[in-house]
Structure 1
Amino acid sequence: MIALISPAYAEGGAPADAGIFNLVLLVGFVIIFYFLMWRPQAKRAKEHKNLLASLAKGTEVVTNGGILGRVTKVDDNYVALEVAENIEMKFQKAAVAAVLPKGTLKSI
């Protein structure tokens, strides 16, 4: 059996012309990564940045932790929310997940 295998090793293999194929494959993966991962994430980040820029006093919001509140004060990095009557909490602006429609807090 070994006598049959050894001549196969002695012969040269096919030339390796896969260099251009590997480059095309790599570029294809980069394009797929861009359209499936990076671009949608950048779009969501831009929308969230616009949401944070639009915060104003009286806006009803929900935080990442699920706390509902009405904006009472907006600073550069922080926002104060009234979560109950006469109870105010400070959050980082980035913790605001979404803006709620007006009247949502009254209906809960």
Structure 2
Amino acid sequence: MFVTPAYAQAAAGGAGPTAAFAQFIPLILIFAIMYFLMIRPQQKRMKQHREMVSALKKGDHVVTSGGIIGKVSSVRDDELEVEIATGVKVRVIRSTVSQVLNKSEPVAANA
């Protein structure tokens, strides 16, 4: 009537490699979901930002990550000179530019 412990241990050990692989399936599925929902979109966003920053040129209106809005007055290797008011120029690192505004958009309200 009762199964002895020796038989129960032998039956559990017989499934071997398929049982071990079945334990990793949820882990693989979680990684795949994380890749498509988090990692891949972030890589696309980083690629778009890198392309936007590399295409900056003199005369573009930009917004930095610090919230400074201005017009690019000169472009160097890794930094930009941005004019934020008449005669006021600041140097910013190229990668801190978060957005390039269209020339038709208003840059700042002169009050």
Unpaired stretches in structure 2, ≥5 consecutive residues:
none
Give distance in 1, aligned partners of 2:100 and 2:27: 41
Give distance in 1, aligned partners of 2:20 and 2:37: 26
TM superposition shift of 1:107: 5.3
Aligned to 1:15: 12
Give distance in 2, aligned partners of 1:64 and 1:25: 39
TM superposition shift of 1:105: 1.6
Give distance in 2, aligned partners of 1:25 and 1:71: 50
Aligned to 2:28: 27
Deviations 1:35-55 (A, max 9, x none): 011100100000001100110
The two structures have a TM-score, normalised by structure 2, of: 0.79
Give distance in 2, aligned partners of 1:51 and 1:22: 44
Unpaired stretches in structure 1, ≥5 consecutive residues:
1-9
Aligned to 2:75: 74
Give distance in 2, aligned partners of 1:68 and 1:106: 7
Corresponding letter in the other structure for 2:97: V
Q: 8 Å contact 2:69–2:108 — kept in the other structure?
A: no
Aligned to 1:61: 62
Q: CA RMSD in A?
A: 2.0
Q: Which has the larger displacement, 22-31 or 79-88?
A: 22-31
Task: Report the count of equivalent residues.
Answer: 99
SS at match of 2:107: helix
The two structures have a TM-score, normalised by structure 1, of: 0.81
